[in-house]
Every structure is written in structure tokens, then in C-alpha cells.
Structure 1
Amino acid sequence: MKRTGPFRLPRPGKVASIRDLATKVADGTVPLDRIARLPDEEVITRLSVVRGIGRWTAEMFLIFQLRRLDVWPVEDYGVRKGYSLAYGLRDLLTPKQLEAEGERFRPYRTVAAWYCWQAVHEQRKPRQ
């Protein structure tokens, strides 16, 4: 990666992000060897210092890579939309409102998020 110039890879911004991630792994900011043992918020904090990685990306990493069961990605549009569909709400809840609503699903908020995504998916299916 260090020898490859940005002109050889697509999207220089992505290259810069990959390089920054490599640097943060090398200097211990993102400890890949023990990241699976860190608490959720610490994983989010450590990943969020990497260029191009924000809270949403870190939460998706927790859900899909580390398979954490209690992640509630309140800024995810699919979760917000799906929650509204599942509960028959006319409007989307704000992330702050959704955060409060998610408390009832602890310690399995990831499962609730999956059902929210599924509600959106089901709504998009063509009716027969």
C-alpha cells in the first residue's frame, strides 16, 4: 500500500482512508488484535478517528463483523423508516426519539434493527 500511488487505485479519497486506517492500526489507535474484546463505544471511538469512518460505519462493523447483539444505529435511515413502518407511525422519529424507544429492546437492539431493515425490505417488494 505504501508503494502504490493514488493514481493506480480508484478514488483517491478511498486510498487516503485506507492509508489512514493502516497508519492507525500500525500505531495502535485501532488495535485489530484486540478490537473484538473492546466495549462497543470504545470500538466506535477508535474507528471514528480514521478518515472516512464515522459512527454509522463503526456501528455496521460492530453488527456485521463483530456480531454484537446490542447495537442500535439510530441515524440509519433504514432503521428509522422501518421502525415507523413497524409501528404504524406517520413520521420518522428523530435519532434522539429512536434512541429512547430502543431502550425496550436491550440487550438485543441489533435484532430490533434487523427487523426494522426487514420492514423496509418487505414494503419495497412488489405486491402480487
Structure 2
Amino acid sequence: MATWDDMARICLALPATSEGNSRGWRQWKVRDRSFMWERPLGKKDLAELGAAAPAGPVLAAYVPDEGAKAALIAEEPELYFTTSHFDGYPTVLCRLDRMDERDLTELAAEAWACRAPRRLLAEYPDPPAAGS
């Protein structure tokens, strides 16, 4: 079961990252571009998801494209989901408390790579994972 502190440790192990706050929610950035953030569900989200709405913490993460988002949701619907708010955006929502360290590390590295500037990506084609 992952926590926000696990998320922070994993994200901050990636090159040129920082932690910030937006609307009182934690977010992680690579060179001032958000790649993962805390995303509490709003009233509209809860109404849309109904009984399927997670009770625990929700994390949002960039993914390469809509196809990657659809694949994650289809492969592991117990971890990944979306709402209509994110239709057309390469962003997936995650049930943080159901993720393990491996899932979280892979997702963070992918989200980081989606948002990192080209020069930084060239410098770190395989970004180091937490604890590496």
C-alpha cells in the first residue's frame, strides 16, 4: 500500500524534479511541468463513478497518449481509472493505496518522461528509479 510519502520519495529521485502545491494538493514537477499530482475526487467525479468511486487517495499521472491510458485501465482496472473530466487528455487516475512500489516507480518514470524537456530526456534516457 503506497502513501503520499512514498510518492514523494519516488518522484524526487527522478532528475530535475521538485515538489509543489496547487490548490492545497501535492504535485511533482520536472522543470516546472507537472507530471503527477494529488487529485481528490469532486462532487461531479463521485456522481459519475457512483459505487466504483475509490474511498482512498487518488493520484493523477501523465501517460504517453490516450491509447496508453486505455491500456492501463483495461489491464488493471483495480488500480487505474478515469473520469469524463480527463476525456481527451493523456492523464490517468490511480488508486494510490492499492499500488505497490514497482507500479508506482514505473508510472512515475513514464509520467516524468512524458513531461521532461527533450534535452533532459537526452541526458537521462533511462531515468534512475527511487533507491537506484
> If the TM-score is normalised by the length of the shorter chain, which range does it land in?
under 0.3
Q: Normalized per residue, which structure has more strand?
A: 2
TM-score normalised by length of structure 2:
0.27
TM-score normalised by length of structure 1:
0.27
Q: Normalized per residue, which structure has more helix?
A: 1
Larger RCO: 1 or 2 (CA < 8 Å, sep 6+)? 2
Greater Rg, structure 1 or structure 2?
A: 1
